[in-house]
Amino acid sequence: MKKITIALMVISLLATFSIVGFTSNTANHSITIEFSEFVRVALNSDSNITFTVDSSSAGELPPTKYDTTKRLYYLALIDPTKTTLIDVSLTSGTIPTSEYSLEVETTGISAAIGNPGSASADQPIDLSTGGTLITSIGPVATGTSETDGAALKYTLSFNAVPDPTTDGEYTVTYTINDAS
């Protein structure tokens, strides 16, 4: 009899809990995301470019040299009604323009997301004076793959016989600026 009484009490307690049930409870909070406009620019590598001038045909100036190993990557987190641009300049060294010229141009521009802009109409850019390389950049993240961003082509061409005792070393700087 005691076993039946205990069994009935357990069944009675279980029935009570299942009828009464449990109430739910919640907690919450807000998440705020704040944006500041900013831009960034980088190269695919920090390695130097070296043009070696060590041969030419008799009676001719050294041949024009090219380098296409650099890509320019950039990010513009900006208001969609604004645009940015990328300028290029020398920040060290002076090119002896009477002997040779050094130019840069974009040979293709692409972006993973957004508007990567377009090549300036003034291409190629003479690095002795600098100028605007890419215009009309909207909100963009170019990506960083081998086909993203702006493909750069540097050209070294000769205007006269260069002085072989005056090697040149120049620092080329890319700056992303507000255009609107």
Whether residue 110 lies inside any domain: the answer is: yes
Cβ pair 162, 100 in contact under 8 A: yes
With respect to residue 127, please indicate whether it lies within any of the assigned structural domains. Answer: yes
Q: Is residue 13 part of a domain?
A: no
Rounded to whole angstroms, how far apart are CA atoms 89 and 126?
9
152 part of a folded domain: yes
Inter-residue contact 127 to 103 (CB < 8 Å) = yes
Looking at the domain assignment, is residue 47 inside a domain? yes
In-domain check, residue 140: yes
Task: With 0.85 as the threshold, say if the pTM is over it.
Answer: no
Q: Which two tokens stand for residue 5?
A: 């009484």
| CA nearest to 133, candidates 159, 170, 101, 103 | 103
pLDDT, one tens digit per residue, over 104-156 is 999 999 999 999 999 988 789 999 999 999 999 999 999 999 999 999 999 99
Assigned domain for 24 exists? no
Residue 165 CA to residue 150 CA, distance in Å, equals 34
Output the domain CATH number for residue 167.
2.60.40
How high does pLDDT run on average in the chain? 89
For residue 16, tell me if it sits in a domain. Answer: no
pLDDT at 37 (0 to 100): 87
Q: How many domains would you assign to the chain?
A: 1
State pLDDT tens for residues 5-36. Answer: 665 565 665 555 555 566 888 999 999 998 88
